[in-house]
C-alpha cells in the first residue's frame, strides 16, 4: 500500500508539473484575452470597427521570449528541467527568465502529488487537482492584474456543486449550495457596507464569486475558518509589504490570492484545523 501511494504521488506530481506549465500560459494570456475582448466590445458599442489583431488565445501563437521574441522550442519548455538547463536565461538573448515559471510548476506538482497520495487515482483526487489548479491560476492572475476571471471562478463554483452531488467532496449538496449562497452574499454585504460608509470599493465582484466557489467545495460551515485564514495571511503579507515599502500605488493589495490560500489550507489540513491553529477550535 505504501509503495502504491508513492507511485500515485509520483505520477500525480509529474502530471502537476505539466499542468503547472500550462497554468503559466493561462496566467499570462487570459487577462490579455479579456482586455482584447473588452476593447472589441467597446469599439462595437461606439460604432467603430474593432482593431485588426493577430489571433491570440491559450494555444496560439506559440510562446516566445518577451525580450527578443525568440520562439520557445519544445526542449526549452520542459517543466523545471528546461529552466535548470538554461540556467534561468533565454537561449537566444540571455535575458533572465522569471523564477516564477518553475515555482508555479513545482507548487502545482506538489499539490497534485498530495491529492494523489491522499485519494489515489480516483475521481476524488481528480476533482481536488482541478480545484488546486484553478486556485493557483486565480492567485497569480489576481496578484498581477486585480482580476478574478469569470472563466475560472464560475466553472469552479459549478464544479464544487457537481462534485458534492457525486459525493467527491464529502459535503452534502444542501451544505454546498448554502455555502455558495453564503459565500457570495457575505462579501457582497461587506462590499456595500464599506462603500456606503466610505464611498470607496474595498473589493471586487470576483472576490464574491471565488468565496462562493469555496463555499460550494467545503460547505457553509467552512466559510468562517477560510475567511479567517485569508485575513491572517493577508494581514501578514500586507504588513511585510508595507515594511519593505513594496505596496503598489494607492496601497492596493488584492484579496483574491489570500482567499485562494485559505482554500488551499482548508484542503490540506481541514477547516477545523484552521480554527484550532488560530485558537478558535
Q: How far apart are CA 225 and CA 280, in angstroms?
A: 9
DSSP code per residue over 52-114:
P----SSSSS--B-TTT-PBPPGGG-STTHHHHHTTTB-TTT-PBPPTHHHHHHHHHHHHHHH
Q: Would the pTM count as exceeding 0.85?
A: yes
At 29 the pLDDT is: 96
At 169 the pLDDT is: 95
**Residue ranges of the chain with per-residue pLDDT less than 50:** none
At 55 the pLDDT is: 81
Q: How far apart are CA 130 and CA 109, in angstroms?
A: 12
At 192 the pLDDT is: 93
Q: DSSP letter for 167, please.
A: T
Q: How far apart are CA 3 and CA 7, in angstroms?
A: 6
At 251 the pLDDT is: 66
Q: How do residues 230-275 score in pLDDT, each as one tens digit? A: 999 998 888 888 888 777 766 678 999 999 999 999 999 998 887 7
The residues spanned by each domain of the chain are 1-120, 122-281
At 149 the pLDDT is: 97
At 212 the pLDDT is: 98
Amino acid at each position: 500500500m505504501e509503495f502504491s501511494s508513492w507511485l500515485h504521488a509520483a505520477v500525480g506530481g509529474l502530471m502537476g508539473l505539466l499542468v503547472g506549465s500550462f497554468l503559466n500560459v493561462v496566467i499570462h494570456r487570459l487577462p490579455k484575452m479579456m482586455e482584447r475582448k473588452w476593447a472589441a466590445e467597446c469599439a462595437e458599442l461606439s460604432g467603430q470597427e474593432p482593431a485588426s489583431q493577430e489571433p491570440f488565445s491559450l494555444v496560439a501563437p506559440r510562446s516566445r521570449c518577451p525580450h527578443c521574441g525568440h520562439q520557445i522550442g519544445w526542449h526549452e519548455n520542459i517543466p523545471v528541467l528546461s529552466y535548470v538547463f538554461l540556467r534561468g536565461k533565454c537561449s537566444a538573448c540571455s535575458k533572465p527568465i522569471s523564477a516564477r515559471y518553475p515555482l508555479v510548476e513545482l507548487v502545482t506538482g506538489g499539490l497534485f502529488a498530495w491529492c494523489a497520495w491522499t485519494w489515489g487515482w480516483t475521481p476524488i483526487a481528480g476533482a481536488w487537482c482541478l480545484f488546486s489548479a484553478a486556485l493557483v491560476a486565480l492567485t497569480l492572475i489576481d496578484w498581477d492584474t486585480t482580476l478574478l476571471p469569470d472563466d475560472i471562478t464560475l466553472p469552479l463554483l459549478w464544479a464544487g456543486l457537481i462534485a458534492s452531488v457525486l459525493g467527491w467532496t464529502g459535503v452534502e449538496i444542501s451544505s454546498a449550495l448554502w455555502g455558495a449562497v453564503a459565500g457570495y452574499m457575505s462579501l457582497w454585504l461587506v462590499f456595500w457596507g464599506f462603500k456606503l460608509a466610505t464611498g470607496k470599493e474595498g473589493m471586487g465582484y470576483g472576490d464574491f464569486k471565488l468565496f462562493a466557489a469555496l463555499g460550494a467545495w467545503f460547505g457553509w460551515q467552512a466559510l468562517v475558518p477560510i475567511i479567517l485564514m485569508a485575513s491572517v495571511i493577508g494581514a501578514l503579507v500586507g504588513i511585510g509589504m508595507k515594511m519593505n515599502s513594496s505596496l503598489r500605488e494607492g496601497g492596493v493589495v488584492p484579496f483574491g490570492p489570500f482567499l485562494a490560500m485559505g482554500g488551499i489550507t482548508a484542503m490540506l489540513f481541514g477547516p477545523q484545523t484552521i480554527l484550532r491553529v488560530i485558537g478558535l477550535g
